Structure 1
């Protein structure tokens, strides 16, 4: 296992580009299964196999970390104050429900004040939002709320509630909730802007997939908020190809000087409860992981072309290690920075293409 001592790192620039999606769905998990896997790992297992990007927010842990006593029937003011505090802690950038938090709370009783966790997944075939709901959630209450919003009740065997956007949008309900399905046996509620996407949801789930994404997720532990990318998507989003010409040239020089930098199969980056920024890269082989632990450690100590300044300006490095096929970086952000939301589309540290 390769280990590097204290150095520093910067990740800055634009937020990671959002994938073009075909459909968007919301899934509410009514039961949080026990087991050795982390909450993030269990949520990722429910995501579609085709997912390229996973955006995670552990709302229960965020509320605990911030010491928030926001009630489950929070007012709009309570919710805004809580989200302002979470924003200041850089814990909202991975959420897909923050922008519609108030109408979701008022109309469906689902918001950052009430859900346990959130996983927003995006891929070429569509997008899916998973919300873990704590014990005591009442699916009958959700059905009543849907009826009150004018949804047509399910008919036949598809169990899909059909909404009318002309009635929903004036109340702040977005097109993603055009179709809603409640599976009481599985304890799952799903919503989408396409009925067919809901019908294929169970068959499309990752389950116990063994790949670079699973490896990176396993190394993350229990982050408060995290971004996870499949290797091919990370290759496109995190390469230097979108940087200006001089920055690309300088990046190529730095990579050549650092040594071999190879593509990874999975990428994860998250903020932990103790303030640590953790990065995990899943490779094909152990040799690749060891090689990349050394080369990326060299990059940590140098400039950050395409972002400005140098990596040592913003992060101290507590530990870098290659363990099996995964490289894990444990980083200590400088106070006042926003490391997760500022993740660049072209950081030389994560270059793969």
Structure 2
């Protein structure tokens, strides 16, 4: 009797949620847009429907001043490279992973590269054991946020920090204080690992070269990312969660990718190409990610849907021609697949040519098709 009643209640709940979904879809169709499943009221409570990808959740943890995001899905990288380091990897295991990731252009976004072997032995984590890593940078500081695989990993990190000479915090959410003097005794470690905070509930480790900046990040609920960043991140996640990605807000994209860093001849060539290509609006956000298997996606976010539609053809033309400032043509680096405007974002499918390093080359300027 109880089981029948439970099933009846479950069917009633599912019926209500399906009705809500249908209503949202109909309303979206009238407006010309369809909702994401996770945005339908109540639907996120169902198994398998969550608040977003790991990339989206990691970016949502970043401090308020963050404008540049460098993402590496280390668990995905290990799977893609068919590498399975042991739970307590050796220096050789770590170096083998980093060498393979470099060859596949999947290590360009990590802040742990040269520190990896030492951080594993001294601090208990590295690309060989972490689930993921997000390096966020802003005007006030920089933060490395790292996902742990298991609760026991958090205890291991705390034990290693204590053994390494870090001063423990007064409470569970405080900062382990190392600093340059402690790091100097451990070997080759990035200054970004000077101060560390371990969240055993969220299975997250945060680190920075500034203790006050790290403590503020731990104590403060981060705001939602800016619209341009959020749109670019969502587009990358929808294209297939990237193994490695670079995401910039408007100001960083329009500076880092600008043709202004090219020489005079390249800038003149760019002006000619832009004049012939069509309308160009400033970017509200930019993302470039590499998916499993090696294909890449560029996400160019704009202020409005209309701007995205107007820029789609322009950006496709620019990405199919010469690459002033980079040298040669973009076709030397990738084959351009589907370019589509969806909402405020233009997504471009990029199939890298043999030995091309699309993420490394095109996450810094000059990049003509991403010009503002």
TM-score scaled by structure 2?
0.81
Matched, 1:346 2:362: no
Q: What is the Cα deviation at residue 35 of structure 1?
A: 1.7
Bigger share in strand: 1
- Which residue pairs with 2:155 in the alignment? 140
Change (3 A) 1:284 1:102: same
Q: In structure 1, list runs of 5 or more residues that go unmatched.
A: 1-32
Asked if the contact 2:144/2:208 (under 8 Å) is kept, the reply is: no
- Distance in 2, Cα, partners of 1:314 & 1:160: 44
Counterpart pick for 2:191 among 175, 182, 203: 175
Distance 2:151 2:218 in 1: 24
Q: In structure 1, how many angstroms separate the alpha carbons of the residues matched to 2:317 and 2:192?
A: 44
Name the counterpart of 2:273. Answer: 254
Q: More deviation in 131-140 or 272-281?
A: 131-140
3-state SS in 2 of match to 1:280 = strand
- Rounded to whole Å, the distance in 1 between the matches of 2:219 and 2:280 is 36
**Which structure's relative contact order is higher, taking Cα pairs within 8 Å and 6+ residues apart?**
1
**Higher share of residues assigned helix:** 2
**Matched-pair contact (CA < 8 Å) for 1:49–1:205:** no
Distance verdict in 2 for CA 1:56–1:183, change over 3 Å = closer
Match for 1:199 among 215, 222, 227? 215
Q: Matches of residues 188-267 of structure 1 in structure 2 within 5 Å?
A: 188-202=204-218, 206-209=222-225, 211-221=227-237, 222-267=241-286
Checking the alignment, whether the CA contact within 8 Å between 1:150 and 1:164 is kept in structure 2 is: no
Q: How many residues align?
A: 320
Equivalent in the alignment of 1:107: 122
Check whether the contact 2:226–2:249 (CA below 8 A) recurs between aligned residues: no
Shift, 1:183, TM fit: 3.9
The structural deviation recorded for 1:276 is 1.4
Deviates more, 1:250-259 or 1:187-196: 187-196
Given that 2:233 and 2:247 are in contact with CA atoms closer than 8 Å, whether structure 1 keeps it comes out as: yes
Say if 1:181 and 1:190, in contact at 8 Å, map to a contact too. yes
Could you tell me the TM-score, scaled by structure 1's length? 0.85
CA-atom RMSD, angstroms? Answer: 2.0
- In structure 1, distance between residues paired with 2:266 and 2:79: 41
Aligned partners of 1:226 and 1:268 also within 8 Å: yes
| Structure 2 residue 300 is the aligned partner of structure 1 residue 278 | no
Structure 2: any 5+ residue segments left out of the alignment? 1-47
Deviation, structure 1 residue 266:
0.8
Q: Please give the secondary structure, in 1, of the residue aligned with 2:276.
A: helix
Shift of 1:182: 3.2
Pick which of 204-213 and 104-113 moved more.
204-213
Q: Which residue in 2 is equivalent to 1:153?
A: 168
Q: Once the 2 structures are TM-superposed, how far is the Cα of residue 48 of structure 1 from its aligned partner?
A: 1.4
Q: Which residue of 1 aligns with 2:78?
A: 63
Rg comparison, structure with higher value:
2
